[in-house]
Amino acid sequence: MKPLPVVTLWWVLLLVPRLGATRKGSPEEASFYYGTFPPGMSSLCWSVHLSIFQKLTKSYIDTQGTSDQMWLHWGQGSEWGLEGGGARIPCPAPHHLLQEDIALLRELHVSHYQLSLSWPRLLPTGVRGDQVNAKGVKFYNDIIDALLKSNITPMVTLHYWDLPQLLQVKYGGWQNMSLINYFNDYANLCFEAFGDRVKHWITFSDPRAMVEKGYETGHHAPGLKLHGTGLYKAAHHIIKAHARAWHSYNTTWRRRQQGLVGISLNCDWGEPLDIRNPEDIEAAERYLQFCLGWFANPIYAGDYPQVMKDRIGRKSTEQGLEMSRLPVFSVQEKSYIKGTSDFLGLGHFTTRYITERNYSSRQGPSYQNDRDIMELVDPNWPDLGSKWLYSVPWGFRRLLNFAQTQYVNPPMYVTENGASQKSDCTQLCDPWRIQYLKGYINEMLKAIKDGANIKGYTSWSLLDKFEWENGYSERYGFYYVDFKSRHKPRYPKASGQYYKRIIIANGFPNPREVASWHLEALETCSINNHMLATEPLLNHMQMVTEAVVPTVCALCILIAAVLLMLLLRRQS
Ligand SMILES: *[C@@H]1O[C@H](CO)[C@@H](O)[C@H](O)[C@H]1NC(C)=O
Ligand SMILES: *[C@@H]1O[C@H](CO)[C@@H](O)[C@H](O)[C@H]1NC(C)=O
Ligand SMILES: *[C@@H]1O[C@H](CO)[C@@H](O)[C@H](O)[C@H]1NC(C)=O
């Protein structure tokens, strides 16, 4: 998950009440499109996401021979508002729950499952030459085999934000270009170990948030605040590392393994605040280029977007720097990087209205000052659990169409899309998430009708899980997880039922059927809600039996022993 308020809240989420009057949503919002995904689209895979990372806990590390990853060093202070201290919440190791989770996947009828590998779990120091953790390899082999046995295709992310701590300490993480080689070695290890069975590889997931939060604002591990420089440098190395891994696959593994390697980029849609104002149109374009184009443009067109090069270059000069803070690709690098994605992974959650920034801010270099935009939201948009997340389905179609035209109709996988809910709400009936799913998947269907080459859709996420700086407080799952209970029981939410119906029907066949899904899902969840409500009682009973049974047994044995002694004494 995902992620994060796009920027610090105080200036981002300005509400625009007047929008309600001037812009009543968007025309396409009104029209729901009934229809199924094209029959040739059997290749369209329906998927859910779970990052295995959040279950990598300290006690687990000690038994599995893996090393630290940097998120364990993160968020232990209450200043981050983490419930229970970052990633340290003890969870059962995933393999205890593997069969159970796979049963949930089968229940959802997904054909694919997106998971991420943990670099430190496989390479404790981060360096392949040092040591490969055999237990880590076995761990993922077991998961992959179990998935395949259930006819579920794994889609695997190599790097989702969790860098081995040693690489951070020793090299400054992605600041340092030596990481490109280390990543390539790690990628080759994964291709070698799992590539006979894994055919969909994502090198990096949401690298923009990783560098912005990790190297600019410091909101994420490793928590650096290198304003206006660190993130560009880190991104530069990540793009090169991606290209390097792609080339490795192409030259060494592709012929044998016949798989695909791509990158997954997250971006919200940026809509011009006033569609008739050229400045707003330009600002919205800039927003998208700084978000999606930053990584996609080098990979699809060989270089950073022109607007980034111009702006950051100009501002760097104004700041008295000799060189642009945006690093430069050499001619050889450009041609090496261009064309290194077999598909474009897209993560998308919400939309912003964008306008030119109308106030001056703190001086000095920063990503925000380079972009010079303001993000606004319409107060009429339904808001969800996360404070940055508003449900705006039509923005999804626009983003998909934008990517389709910008990068010349690449095959696309939607790698993340979903809606959260706060944990204090233990509600299994989540009609608002059903609305979100229905709206967003429907807009994706429209985008396919528009001609976008969409191959798959992954919903975020299977289970409630660790949400980065928000810890366990935001819940995205189709299954509710009772984290407080020792066995971490899972309860299906209504939205999971609904997603399953969409998957089985491969779309939205007709109004009557779609309406019946809604009713059915809400009926089931209210029954489950009752079950959940009785859970504390069951837990209590379980505790009582756990305490009472051994005590009674011990007493019985004791009494028997005493009686036996008495008996023996009397006989002697
Ligand atoms: C990269 O890491 C090496 C080894 O620690 C160090 O010598 C070098 O200065 C680092 N480079 C940068 C740009 O930080
Ligand atoms: C990928 O590999 C194929 C087959 O070896 C080769 O023909 C092609 O040139 C490679 N692509 C790139 C961009 O290097
Ligand atoms: C900047 O724009 C916002 C949103 O349109 C508006 O509320 C605010 O008053 C403007 N500020 C200035 C200084 O013009």
pLDDT values of the chain reduced to their tens digit, one per residue, 572 residues: 333 333 333 334 555 544 544 454 455 456 899 988 866 443 455 666 654 434 334 444 444 555 455 555 544 332 232 222 233 333 334 455 678 888 888 888 888 888 889 999 999 999 999 999 999 999 999 999 999 999 999 999 999 888 999 999 999 999 999 999 999 999 999 999 999 999 999 999 999 999 999 999 998 888 899 999 999 999 999 999 999 999 999 999 999 999 999 999 999 999 999 999 999 999 999 999 999 999 999 999 999 999 999 999 999 999 999 999 999 999 999 999 999 999 999 999 999 999 999 887 667 899 999 999 999 999 889 887 777 889 999 999 999 999 999 999 999 999 999 887 655 455 788 888 899 999 999 999 999 999 999 999 988 877 765 554 454 556 677 887 776 666 667 788 888 899 999 989 989 999 999 999 999 998 888 887 787 777 665 565 555 556 666 677 788 788 888 888 888 888 77
* Residues with active-site annotation: 416
Residue 358 Cα: closest atom of ligand 3: 1
Three-state SS at 567: helix
Domain span holding position 198? 36-571
DSSP 215: H
Is 22 a pocket residue for ligand 3 (Cβ < 6 Å)?
no
Whether 126 is in a domain gets the answer: yes
pLDDT of residue 489: 73
Whether 455 is in a domain gets the answer: yes
Candidates 171, 215, 229: which one to mutate for ligand 1, based on the most atoms within 8 Å of Cβ? 171
pLDDT of residue 103: 87
Whether 313 is in a domain gets the answer: yes
Three-state SS at 120: helix
Residue 355 Cα: closest atom of ligand 3: 5
Q: Give the whole-angstrom CA distance, residue 294 versus residue 292.
A: 6
Q: Considering only CA atoms, which residue is closest to atom 11 of ligand 1?
A: 176
Q: Give the whole-angstrom CA distance, residue 271 versus residue 123.
A: 43
Is 358 a pocket residue for ligand 3 (Cβ < 6 Å)?
yes
Whether 76 is in a domain gets the answer: yes
Q: Peptide bond before 461: cis, by omega within 30 degrees of 0?
A: yes
Q: Give the whole-angstrom CA distance, residue 466 versus residue 484.
A: 14
Whether 15 is in a domain gets the answer: no
Whether 3 is in a domain gets the answer: no
Burial label, 313 (beta-carbon count in 10 A; 0-12, 13-18, 19+): middle
pLDDT of residue 86: 30
Q: Considering only CA atoms, which residue is closest to atom 2 of ligand 1?
A: 171
Q: Which ligand is nearest to the CA of 177?
A: 1
Residue 14 Cα: closest atom of ligand 3: 4
For residue 424, the Cα-to-chain-centroid distance in whole angstroms is 22
pLDDT of residue 556: 79
Report the separation in Å between the CA atom of 5 and the middle of ligand 3, taken as the mean of its atom positions: 21
E-strand ranges in 281-440 read 344-347, 351-356, 373-377, 412-416, 421-422
Instruction: Report in angstroms the alpha-carbon separations of 18 from 175, 286, 376, 447, 510.
Output: 43, 24, 12, 29, 36
Whether 245 is in a domain gets the answer: yes
Q: Count the domains in the chain.
A: 1
Instruction: Report in angstroms the alpha-carbon separations of 240 from 37, 197, 203, 235, 408.
Output: 36, 26, 11, 9, 21
Report the separation in Å between the CA atom of 173 and the middle of ligand 1, taken as the mean of its atom positions: 10
Residue 112: phi and psi, rounded to 5, are -130, 160
Is 359 a pocket residue for ligand 3 (Cβ < 6 Å)?
yes
Is 258 a pocket residue for ligand 3 (Cβ < 6 Å)?
no
Candidates 23, 355, 358: which one to mutate for ligand 3, based on the most atoms within 8 Å of Cβ? 358
Report the separation in Å between the CA atom of 15 and the middle of ligand 3, taken as the mean of its atom positions: 11
Q: Considering only CA atoms, which residue is closest to atom 14 of ligand 3?
A: 358
Query: Which residues touch 563 (CB under 8 Å, ≥6 apart)?
Result: none
Name which of 442, 458, 451, 453 is nearest 412 in CA terms. 453
E-strand ranges in 140-259 read 153-159, 200-205
> Which protein residues touch ligand 2 with a CB less than 6 Å away?
250-251, 339
Report the separation in Å between the CA atom of 185 and the middle of ligand 2, taken as the mean of its atom positions: 20
Q: Give the whole-angstrom CA distance, residue 43 versus residue 62.
A: 41
pLDDT of residue 430: 86
Q: Give the whole-angstrom CA distance, residue 391 versus residue 350.
A: 6
Report the separation in Å between the CA atom of 123 and the middle of ligand 1, taken as the mean of its atom positions: 21
pLDDT of residue 45: 59
Q: Give the whole-angstrom CA distance, residue 423 versus residue 484.
A: 12
Q: Considering only CA atoms, which residue is closest to atom 3 of ligand 1?
A: 171
Report the separation in Å between the CA atom of 444 and the middle of ligand 1, taken as the mean of its atom positions: 44
Q: Which ligand is nearest to the CA of 182?
A: 1
Whether 21 is in a domain gets the answer: no
Candidates 242, 251, 336, 338: which one to mutate for ligand 2, based on the most atoms within 8 Å of Cβ? 251
For residue 323, the Cα-to-chain-centroid distance in whole angstroms is 34
- CATH number of the domain that residue 207 is part of: 3.20.20.80
Instruction: Report in angstroms the alpha-carbon separations of 32 from 324, 378, 462, 517.
Output: 47, 21, 26, 16
Q: Which ligand is nearest to the CA of 229?
A: 1
> Which protein residues touch ligand 1 with a CB less than 6 Å away?
170-172, 175-176, 178
